[in-house]
Structure 1
Amino acid sequence: MNEHVSLSPAEWRVMEKLWDGAPQTITQLTAGLEEETGWSKHTVISFLNRMEKKGAVTYRENGRAKEYFPAYVREEATVEEAERFLDRVFSGSLGLMVSSLVEGKHLKEEELRELRDILDRAEGGGGDA
């Protein structure tokens, strides 16, 4: 991922659409986002311009339309965003974050099983998930 590109929640929505299927034109992105957000074409253009300046998206000219692409892969972006969140909210402590979720009873049984599987894999113990 480009060095520490920070995206707003709205920009994450645009990136999700691009990760789900790039390239996309402004018209395609607007159509894909309009129902869930109500954003106009001009709003989408504003986000794309800002994201391009940040290095989050690129485009190529295709006739009269620009086709937009994400500038990095989803996995890189989510790992970096998770690390920034962990640093900002929990002073970098994964244990503190998990503890606060468990103590606040915010984890469902299925999520606890998934967490156990992840920890098993991390320890080299296998696990199915």
Structure 2
Amino acid sequence: MISEAEAVVMEVLWRNAPRSAEEILAEVGQAQQWQEGTVKSLLNRLLKKKAVKAERDGRRYLYSPLLAREKYVHQTSKSLLDRLFDGRVAPLVAHFSEQRKLSKKDIAELRQLLEELDDEQP
């Protein structure tokens, strides 16, 4: 499982790879209030998890994702559903509707998705 901080690094790599630790730091360091050591620690953790690979480029390493963003999103969303909503989507949507977190656009998109899913059913 990838931590929230590791996911920030992965997002940089998913957008544009390969990247060096210094390039990652330049992109997110200030917003995250990270130092170079933090980025390198996160990259080492991601290497151990086999989420990224490193290739030597002179005196530095360039990092690229091994874990596809789609797979990460699938794993993370499944984990959330399993932990909080017993693996069911309807209670998740109900939760957001109760909290008034669904915009009119969200509702329209959900209706469209449900119609498409209904059309696909035999």
2:43 maps to amino acid: L
Give the gaps of 5 or more residues in structure 1. Answer: 1-5
Q: Give the TM-score of the pair, scaled to structure 1.
A: 0.87
What CA deviation, in whole Å up to 9, does each residue of 1:60-99 have, x standing for no partner? 1111111101112111110111001110111111111111
- Structure 2, unaligned runs of 5 or more: none
Query: Alpha-carbon deviation of 1:120?
Result: 2.2
Kindly report the root-mean-square deviation, in angstroms, between the aligned alpha carbons of the 2 structures.
Answer: 1.2
Query: Which runs of structure 1 show a deviation greater than 3 angstroms over 4 or more consecutive aligned residues?
Result: none
Aligned residues: 120
Q: Distance in 1 between matches of 2:75 and 2:116?
A: 21
**TM-score, with length taken from structure 2:** 0.92
Match of 1:45 among 34, 40, 52: 40
Q: Distance in 1 between matches of 2:30 and 2:117?
A: 40
CA distance in 2 between counterparts of 1:13 and 1:124 reads: 37
- Structure with greater helix percent: 2
Which of 66, 88, 96 does residue 61 from structure 2 map onto? 66
Which of the residues 29, 32, 39 maps onto 1:34?
29
Matched position secondary structure for 1:123: helix
Say yes or no: does 1:16 pair with 2:4.
no
Q: Quick one: percent identity of the two aligned structures?
A: 33
Q: Tell me the CA shift for residue 124 of structure 1.
A: 3.0
